[in-house]
């Protein structure tokens, strides 16, 4: 890890004295750097970390909680280290407040200025003004050629129905974009968003992802505030995309999740 220490030292003006891997390196390498004096720093390396850094800065600019970006250069992203402490109910409330703050920042269209990727799964995000079209073309149908033929046919049946399932032009809210529990740090009384895949879109997308592997904590839900009418009817359409991503990344163990959302959508 000498090269990593040298690169981090050049960015920070102080060379790390220690380095150890951190959990969370499915799509990039994550390392905790320690120093003779001062707080540790999280280092992420990978081809997309510069874009991740800009997303984290956008989240912070919205007034929502995310680690501070300390430096970025040549596939290296340095971040503020968040110490993990036992979370309180206040942390779960802070998550809801922070998410509402994030969604209160809006753009003019749906998408993001840069494309992104979850490892080999490309995320095309060119801006578009039609929300159902964005969700069909940039999300559900993207990469359809990599799917089994039966699932592809069912997806193609769902896509034309999205204008009837989704609002035509919801407020283009700033989205985290990959908001499952592993991408949230709850520590003490506070919450932070990490590992984003930002875009502008319907705020329900983040809420659906947060509920994908369980349920939204009632304290978080209360702090976020009232949901838009029809939220439950849209949930399957918004959960279908992360289910497809998991299928493409991690294999057939996620096929049932995809099939379940397709069935809920009548396909």
The CATH code of domain 89-264 reads 3.90.1200.10
Residues of the chain with CATH 3.90.1200.10: 89-264
Domain at 2-80: CATH architecture: 2-Layer Sandwich (3.30)
Report which secondary-structure segment, H or E, holds 65: none
Residues of the chain with CATH 3.30.200.20: 2-80
How much is the pTM? 0.95
pLDDT of 104 strictly over 80: yes
User: How does the average pLDDT of the chain come out, rounded?
Assistant: 95
What average pLDDT does the segment 125-129 reach?
Answer: 94
How far apart (Å, rounded) are the C-alpha atoms in residues 50 and 57? 11
| Paired strand residues for 201 | 173
Chain segment 142-183, per-residue pLDDT in tens: 999 999 999 999 999 999 999 999 999 999 999 999 999 999
Q: Which of 192, 11, 19 is nearest to 94 (CA)?
A: 192
Active centre residues (catalytic): 178
């Amino acid at each position: 890890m000498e090269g990593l220490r040298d690169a981090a030292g050049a960015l920070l003006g102080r060379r790390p004295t220690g380095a150890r891997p951190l959990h969370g390196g499915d799509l990039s390498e994550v390392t905790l750097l320690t120093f003779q004096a001062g707080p540790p720093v999280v280092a992420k390396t990978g081809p997309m970390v510069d874009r991740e850094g800009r997303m984290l800065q956008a989240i912070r600019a919205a007034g929502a909680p995310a680690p501070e970006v300390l430096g970025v250069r040549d596939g290296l992203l340095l971040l503020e280290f968040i110490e993990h402490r036992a979370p309180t109910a206040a942390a779960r409330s802070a998550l809801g407040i922070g998410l509402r703050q994030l969604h209160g920042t809006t753009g003019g269209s749906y998408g993001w200025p840069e494309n992104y990727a979850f490892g080999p799964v490309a995320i095309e995000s060119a801006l578009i003004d039609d929300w159902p079209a964005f969700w069909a073309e940039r999300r559900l149908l993207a990469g359809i050629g990599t799917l089994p033929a039966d699932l592809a046919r069912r997806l193609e049946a769902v896509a034309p129905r999205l204008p009837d399932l989704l609002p035509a032009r919801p407020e283009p809210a700033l989205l985290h974009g990959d908001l499952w529990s592993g991408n949230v740090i709850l520590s003490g009384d506070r919450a932070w968003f990490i590992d984003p895949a930002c875009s502008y879109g319907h705020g329900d997308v983040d809420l659906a992802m947060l509920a994908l592997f369980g349920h939204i904590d009632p304290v978080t839900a209360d702090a976020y505030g009232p949901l838009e009418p029809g939220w439950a009817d849209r949930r399957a359409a918004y959960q279908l995309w992360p289910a497809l991503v998991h299928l493409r990344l991690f294999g057939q163990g996620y096929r049932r999740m995809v099939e379940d959302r397709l069935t809920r959508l009548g396909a």
